[in-house]
Structures are given as C-alpha cells and as structure tokens.
Amino acid sequence: MNVAYHLHKLGIPCSLVSALGDDEAGKALIDFLKSIQLSTDYIQVSENEKTSQVLATVSDNHEVSYEIVYPVAWDKITTQPVHQSLVENSGAFVYGSLASRDAVSREALFKMLDLADYRVFDVNLREPHYSKELITRLLERANIVKLNVAELLLLSGWYNPGRVTETEAVETLLSTFPISEVLVTKGVKGASYYGKGFRFDYPAYSIEVADTIGSGDAFLAAFLAMKLKNRPLEDTLDYAVAMGAFITSRSGACPSYVKSDLDGFIWRKKMMNEKSRQITSGR
C-alpha cells in the first residue's frame, strides 16, 4: 500500500491488489484510500480473517523492528478473472516476500507473476516469515530487485558465502538469477543502482530524521515513477533518494503531501547545496 500511495501521489495510475477484514480497521482503510482517490477495485474483503496489524518499534538510532501479525486478510488473497488484464497491461508489477508467507496468497502471487511483464521484487525479510527456498523462487521471477545492504548480504551468503562486499554480493544475485537490475538502499549513504557490468552510486540528502518507516517504499515508488517515464538514470536516482529523504523527514509511512511539496523540498536542498559549494569555493 505504501508504494501504491506514493505512486498515486506522483501522478502514476496504479492499482492495489490486497485483502482486508470485514472489520472497523478494514473499513477505515477503505475510507482512507477512497479519500485520496486510490482505487479499491481489487481489494478483497475477508469474512474469516482480520485486517492486518503491524507493530513497529523504532530504536534510538532510528532502526525499525516489526511484529507482523499472522494470519490476516492479505494472507488469503485469491486470484480473480479481473486480475489477468490488470496485470498483463501494467507497466510494473510490485511484490514483496511477505505476500507469499501463506499458501493461499502465495499461489495467487505466483499466478500473477506469470502474467506480469516487468516484475519488481521489493525484498522485505521479516522473521519468521521467510525461507531460502521461498526467496529463491521469488528471485527467479524478478526483473529488478530492491533491498537494503543487510538483506543483500544475507541473500548473497546463501548462494556464494565467500563474496562479502556489496559489489560481490550484487554480482552473485545477477549471475545466479535472471535479474537485470538491483537497487540497494543505504540510508544516510544514499543508494546504488546495478545493471549487468554497471554501477551507479547516488548520495543521500541531508535531513533531520522524523522516522524511517516507509522510506524504502517511497524510494521505490519515486524510482518507478521516473523509470516508467523513461527518464535518465541519474535523474531517476536523484528523485528516488530525494523522495526517501522527504518521507524520512516526516512522521509516518504515508504522510499527507502533494507533489509540489516534494518538488519544493528538492529545490530547497539543491539551493542549499549550491550555496555551500559557493562558500567552499570562495574559501
């Protein structure tokens, strides 16, 4: 939902395939999505399972840990006839490992992956909801993978334990699976994009952190928004890193904003950087 929320805010038409419980929390979420005019056409309502709960704890150094309740409604997503044309006609299909922790939603996910043209795997390793076997199957279907450094090194260690640097770990994924692109998020160190035999690093924006919840989702949404418009890679990564910083500077994964707020944030940061360079040069 976080990725869909930000894509929608950036003017990219998108649909959310999920499931909610027939309860107050589910009704509140539907009302919220309708209030921002994000389509709810593909959200199923479960009579047997409750709406998802995720309990997040933020440490003093801004690291986040999660308790993800199981089972919940989105563990029971099923495929419907309407999903075929939806997925086949999409510019990108974004999925995460959590969506496949239950056999029911896992079956639905793999059916949709068979229909998708550009498959975006947003790795979200949360104990105890993953295994090497499951992650391997998901990597085998991906065109592009987004993950953080800790997740990268863990995955690489499964397939080639002797390769321990970031570059070596990415090379392991690119050579082991039919992946063409890897995005590595690094918090205050920015992000890196890898293709076959290609690497591009982009620095982070300097900000005062409110909380880091949802910053990776915001980063991915901005990256896809630019990529789907065929923008240059440098511009795409700049926008994605800026979006991650912008959301980190606000509280919550889905804060209220409009696109002009993000554009203003980017402009102010660039002006500050330019002024800093002029002062340094003057010295």
What pLDDT score does 282 carry?
Answer: 47
What pLDDT score does 107 carry?
Answer: 98
**Domains of the chain, with CATH numbers?**
4-8+56-66+76-273 (3.40.1190.20)
What pLDDT score does 102 carry?
Answer: 97
What pLDDT score does 163 carry?
Answer: 86
Per-residue pLDDT of the chain (283 residues; tens, 9 = 90+): 999 999 999 999 999 999 999 999 999 999 999 999 999 999 999 999 999 998 888 777 777 777 899 999 999 999 999 999 999 999 999 999 999 999 999 999 999 999 999 999 999 998 899 999 999 999 999 999 999 999 999 999 999 998 889 999 999 999 999 999 999 999 889 999 999 889 999 999 989 998 888 999 999 999 999 999 999 999 999 999 999 999 999 999 999 999 999 999 999 988 887 766 555 544 4
135-170 as b/e: b if 16+ CB within 10 A: bebbbebbbbbbbbeebbbbbbeebeeebeebeebb
What pLDDT score does 67 carry?
Answer: 85
What pLDDT score does 283 carry?
Answer: 47
Q: What percent of the chain has pLDDT over 90?
A: 83
Q: Which residues contact 245 (CB under 8 A, 6 or more apart)?
A: 204, 205, 207, 215, 265, 269
What pLDDT score does 280 carry?
Answer: 52
